[in-house]
Structure 1
Amino acid sequence: MKLELDHISKAFGDFYANQDISITVEPGQIHSLLGENGAGKSTLMNVLYGLYQPTSGRILVDGTPQTFTGPGDAMAAGIGMVHQHFMLVPVFTVAENVALGAETTRGGVLDLKETRRKIREISSRYGFDVDPDAIVEDLPVGVQQRVEIIKALVRNAKVLILDEPTAVLTPQETDELLEIMRQLAASGTSVVFISHKLREVKAVADVITVIRRGRVVGEADPKADPTELAALMVGREVHLNVNKTPAEPGETVLKVQDLAVTAANGQRLVDGISLEISGGEILAIAGVQGNGQTELSEAIMGLTEGRVTGSITLDGKELVGMGTHQVLRAGVGFVPEDRNVDGLVGAFSVQENLVLDLFDTEQFSKAGSLNLKAMGANSAHRIDEFDIRTPNAQAAASTLSGGNQQKVVMARELSRPLRLFVASQPTRGVDVGSIEFLHGRIVEERDRGTAVMIVSTELDEVIQLADRIAVLYQGRVVGIVPADTSRDVLGLMMAGMTQSEAAVAADAHGPTETTAIVEEGGVL
């Protein structure tokens, strides 16, 4: 099926998220959309999938203009979409999820026989190995994603939109997904692949279309140098490699010993973690989302709602039992994993957000009143220092792009002397230009002698920033390894293997077999 977007524009009031965009996706083609944060990629795909109506322009399928008033129309025309956040009901079986919205009944009872048959057929064709009767919440993330793909294929999708599909996958699961995309294309299904990860796009795309500020700025050859692609995305030269000298660690600053965090239901979220971070080094915490990283960071910051046992000391001073305000005052800076929930007050101005954890200090308050002059001077300095793109310091933080919101959080946390800097998902949802800047500031903080802990599910980021890497699996540290440890070994450790087991497995097995090992929980 040939899909054409013909001069599509989408306006929200006076603002055009998409302007005069024309893209053609040929049958059996993997067509990648690249663009920085706010470039308009997701808006364009929402127009294509019937979630938005275009302000102008046409959608054509095999040369015939189409009008999609909702996703049902798009699916009926042969267009399927796998969202970044899966649209699955966790307590339903695979078959029930696939049938949802297109149920067939017999005698008033849900009939899943045909759905199960189709799941087995598609699973066999592409090597998915998905059990129709498995409960979705019991499946690994990579298999859940395959269920989403099966949902689209059962509905005869001829064009499959994948929106940031590798965000929650291990490296091996990512490689497997790229192979699935190749198989789909070989069978005649077109794939629209939305990603900001240049390595993956280059590995699988037939055509790359780059969007910047709502417009198509060009098509790129997948063989192009990554720096060329990055420059096309953001409109300037971008350095993709982190420029840092070898670490010169000093004395131990943070010491975590036998740390455990237990939820109210008795589940052990952090299970006996012990680690140390010295001043002047970056320890990166690697792992698939949901393996205790969030709870580790929150325990350090005094934010966890669970029961905490064990010890966390900063320069020998116990942090367990302290409130978050006390931890911050002890010299800890913190960038939370979700800036919109925990890092910013969207309705507050940029100026106000830049002093959220400092407003009651002598610098910014006097006799119970805010020192607005000092706040204004501080915001002017930080906006310039961190290149925060905002109309002015009084603009609401919610009006900024994701990258600039992250810069506000980072500027605030790095605006005072620190002994420990904890950053969870420091560049999540941030474009390559802002990533370059934020990585540079993290390294600068390390070079000032601060102990730095980075929590990231982005393996490329972990490898680039880390001086050492601690890998978490099911709330435990399975190993602390050097930063030059191979991606294959790290990926297998993220699935539960020790470093020695992962090294043996990576040497002994090819990519397909290694992926199978990961999906079996790391057991040979």
Structure 2
Amino acid sequence: MEYVIEMLNIRKEFPGIVANDNITLRLAKGEIHALLGENGAGKSTLMNVLFGLYQPEKGEIRVNGKPVKITDPNVANELGIGMVHQHFMLVENFTVTENIILGNEPTASGRINIAKAAEEVQKISEQYGLKVDPYAKIEDISVGMQQRVEILKTLYRGAEILIFDEPTAVLTPQEISELIQIMKKLVKEGKSIILITHKLKEIMEVCDQCTVIRKGQGIGSVTVSETNPDQLAEMMVGRAVNFKTEKTEAKVGDEVLKIENLVVNDARNVPAVNGLSLTVKRGEILGIAGVDGNGQSELIEAITGLRKVNAGSIELKGTNIAGLTPRKITETGIGHIPQDRHKHGLVLDYSIGENMVLQTYYQQPFSKSGVLNFKAIHEKAKSLIAEFDVRTPSENTPARALSGGNQQKAIIAREVDRSPDLLIAAQPTRGLDVGAIEFIHSKLIEERDKGKGVLLVSLELDEVLNVSDRIAVIYEGKIVDIVDPKLTNEQELGKLMAGGKRKREGDA
């Protein structure tokens, strides 16, 4: 077997933690190889070693059979290794072309030749089916398009081996299927791919081999065509995982949230939420299904006080909260798991303990007369870390040092612990592994069963179908229909999300 990459017995340590403990991974030419593991298992660390961002304490890397020392990403690029990072490394106000050539600019008489570069970008993008506008600014294009720019960046530098780090974590279902086609095309063109993921469906659909790591240790490699999702989940988590959410029939109570004729403008001052009405009752999970960009973000921001309400009313337990400050709204009884954990969920340079009390630090026992009580804060953090299985060296670890999944668990711990009357969960399982998803779904159902209202906004249709008691479909800022998850399916929801109508009994 001809291997383009061999990572043999790699060990990588950080203070107090062994992130990779003697891991071996071999990538064959023309293969898509999955690297599967829970959040914090050490997947990104291993790939950062391959890309030259970290130096291993032990082990050997071979490229095309030759031992190499990859001291930094430039060396990786020279060896034909490119990495598409989970959090894109793009300059927002540069164009697509400017981002792609950054650090590798073609010059003529000392000047950057943008026209020549744009032509080259166009050529590569057509060759691999990665359609992008070379002159568009990054801030004006969708997340899916931004990801294409990241892929083009690596191809422009001549990458033969591509590392994709959780590439579908921020994509819509349609963008995911487009990306899968792109990956298949890249392999057809002779490239080899390592796909860091914990989405079993994608592994089954697109990968040839799969290497599983758990808590920093290699569990083994399997041929994907000879395995199944249950087996992979068990290898990853170390126990059997239940993919179907267990819940009893909802015991629905009074209205906790009532929205009438709500209008909310977006950043361009155009209505993103346009005459929307909706109710959430105690003891139910109301799921909102919709294609990204149909007003979901603006709706959540309006309810939580982060965006101005232009018209209509938002009532929580009978009181109009439109126009109140975010803190006042929080205190009235709303918990918010935001869709962007880095922008709105955490202060990344604060410790995980400090992040756990961001909503309550000014109340007793965490402070008195404006002075913080760190002993009380640490005790609270320790108990939440244990209860929600947040994997961190300690409560003093900066939030930025945790894996994405553990950052998410910390936010959920903070919001659920306050047990608000209404819990808004926006993309609560984005980028999480099956074990963490199962845990978070059970927490949402627990809140529902305590008689709280839960508003779940998710782009994952199987999540909305699995967890919700009712599903409201949003299209162009309005609720177009409300359906019973037991009586619908992904196809019908997809049609409604595109603005279609549901076929009702008696329809011709």
Cα deviation per residue 1:258-297 (whole Å; 9 max; x = unaligned)? Answer: 2233467635454433222122221223445555433322
Q: Which amino acid aligns with 1:128?
A: L
What residue in structure 2 maps to residue 514 of structure 1? none
Q: Secondary structure of 1:249's partner?
A: coil
Q: Does 1:297 align with 2:320?
A: no
1:500 aligns with 2:501: yes
User: What letter corresponds to residue 276 of structure 2 in structure 1?
Assistant: I
Q: Distance in 2 between matches of 1:498 and 1:109?
A: 49
The answer (yes or no) to whether the contact 2:309–2:322 under 8 Å persists in 1 is no
The yes-or-no answer on 1:249 pairing with 2:217 is no
CA contact (8 A) 1:168 1:289 kept: no
Distance 1:289 1:112 in 2: 33
2:154 matches 1:146: no
Secondary structure at the counterpart of residue 501 of structure 2? helix
8 Å contact kept, 1:397–1:405: no
Separation of aligned partners in 2, 1:403 and 1:129: 31
Root-mean-square deviation over aligned CA pairs: 3.5
Deviates more, 1:352-361 or 1:238-247: 352-361
The code of the aligned residue for 1:100 comes to: L
Structure 1 position 490, deviation (Å):
4.3
169 and 40 in structure 1: CA distance in 2 versus 1, 3 angstrom threshold: same
1 CA distance for matches of 2:159 and 2:375?
59
Q: Give the match for residue 243 of structure 2.
A: 240
How many angstroms does 1:30 deviate by?
A: 0.2
Task: Measure how far apart 1:301 and its partner are.
Answer: 2.2
Partner of 1:446: 448
- Give the whole-Å Cα distance in 1 for the aligned partners of 2:137 and 2:351: 45
CA distance, structure 1, for counterparts of residue 362 and residue 126 of structure 2:
62
Give the distance between the partners of 1:62 and 1:73, measured in 2 at CA: 15
Structure 2 residue aligned with 1:11: 13
Structure 1 residues 391 and 190: CA distance shift in structure 2, 3 A: closer
Q: Which stretch has the larger CA shift, 98-107 or 358-367?
A: 358-367
Residue by residue over 1:426-450, the C-alpha shift from the partner in whole angstroms, topping out at 9 and shown as x without a partner, is 2334332222112112112222332
> How far off its partner does 1:31 sit?
0.3
Q: CA deviation at 1:364?
A: 7.6
1:2 counterpart residue number:
4
Deviates more, 1:32-41 or 1:86-95: 86-95
Shift of residue 43, structure 1, vs aligned partner = 1.2
Q: Which residue of 1 aligns with 2:262?
A: 259
Query: Which residue of structure 2 aligns with residue 410 of structure 1?
Result: 412
User: What is the SS of the residue equivalent to 1:333?
Assistant: strand
The CA deviation at 1:22 is 1.6
**For 2:397 and 2:110, how far apart are their aligned partners in 1?**
53
CA apart distance, 1:312 = 0.3
Quote the residue 1:159 is aligned against: 161
Equivalence map 1:311-390=2 (5 Å):
311-339=313-341, 342-343=344-345, 357-358=359-360, 385-387=387-389
Q: Which residue does the alignment assign to 2:79?
A: 77
Match of 2:288 among 280, 285, 289: 285
2: distance between equivalents of 1:254 and 1:123?
Answer: 47
Structure 2: distance between partners of 1:11 and 1:141: 33
Structure 2 match to 1:434: 436
Percent sequence identity is: 49
Distance in 2 between the 1:333 and 1:433 partners?
23
Query: What amino acid is aligned across from residue 12 of structure 1 in structure 2?
Result: F
Q: Quick one: structure 1 residues 325 and 96, their matched pair in 2 at CA, closer, same or farther if it must change by over 3 Å?
A: closer
Counterpart of 1:430 in 2: which secondary structure?
A: coil
TM-score by length of 1: 0.82
Question: How far 1:182 sits from its partner (Å)?
Answer: 1.5
Once the two structures are overlaid, the 10-residue window that deviates more, 201-210 or 143-152, is 143-152
Alignment check: 8 A CA contact 2:12 2:58 kept: yes
**Cα distance change, pair 397–430 in 1 and its aligned pair in 2 (3 A):** farther
Q: How far apart in 2 are the matches of 1:411 and 1:429?
A: 17
Deviates most, 379-388 or 436-445: 379-388
Q: Is the 8 A contact 1:170 1:491 kept in 2?
A: no
SS at match of 1:266: coil
Distance 1:460 1:471 in 2: 14
Deviation track 1:458-491 (CA, whole Å, cap 9, x = no partner) reads 3332232122333445655455444364435545
* Count of residue pairs the alignment pairs up: 498
What's the secondary structure of 2:224's corresponding residue?
coil
- What is the CA-CA distance between 1:18 and the residue it aligns to? 1.6
> Which amino acid in 2 is paired with 1:103?
E
Q: Within the alignment, does 1:225 sit opposite 2:228 as a pair?
A: yes
Contact kept in structure 1, 2:209 and 2:224, CA below 8 Å: yes
Give, as a single letter, the amino acid of the residue that structure 1 aligns with 2:237.
Answer: V
Corresponding position: 1:101 with 2:99: no
Compared CA separation, residues 381 and 195, structure 1 to 2 (3 A): closer
Cα distance in 1 between the residues matched to 2:375 and 2:138 = 55
Query: 1:236: how far off?
Result: 2.1
135-144 vs 38-47, greater mean Cα deviation: 135-144
The Cα offsets for residues 474-521 of structure 1, whole Å up to 9 and x where unpaired, read as 655455444364435545665xx21339x9xxxxxxxxxxxxxxxxxx
| Larger mean Cα displacement after TM superposition, 53-62 or 290-299 | 290-299
Q: Partner residue of 1:510?
A: none
Counterpart residue identity of residue 145, structure 2: V
Counterpart of 2:457?
A: 455
Farther-moved stretch of structure 1 (323-332 vs 401-410): 401-410
Identify the residue that residue 210 of structure 1 maps to in structure 2: 212
Matched to 2:57, the amino acid is T
1:194 is matched by which residue type in structure 2? I
2:311 alignment partner, SS class: strand
Aligned counterparts, 1:194-205, within 5 A: 194-205=196-207
Q: Deviations over 1:359-392 (max 9, x none)?
A: 6668888899999999898778756654556677
Please show how residues 158-197 of structure 1 align to structure 2 within 5 Å. Answer: 158-197=160-199
Give the equivalent residue in structure 1 for 2:506. none
Corresponding residue number in structure 1 for 2:51: 49
Equivalent position SS for 1:86: coil
Distance, in Å, in 1 between the alignment partners of 2:238 and 2:374 is 36
1:107–1:478 distance in 2 versus 1, CA, 3 Å:
farther
Larger deviation, residues 144-153 vs 467-476: 467-476
Provide the secondary structure at the position in 1 that maps to 2:442.
Answer: helix
Picking from 4, 23, 28, the partner of 2:25 is 23
Distance 1:184 1:35 in 2: 24
Q: 2 CA distance for matches of 1:426 and 1:192?
A: 26
User: For each residue in 1:11-69, what CA deviation from the matched residue of structure 2 results, as whole angstroms up to 9, or x when unmatched?
Assistant: 22353222222211111000010111111111111121122222222221111122223
What letter matches 1:82 in structure 2? V
TM-score in terms of structure 2 length: 0.84
Q: In 2 relative to 1, CA 323–186 (structure 1 residues): closer, same or farther, beyond 3 Å?
A: same
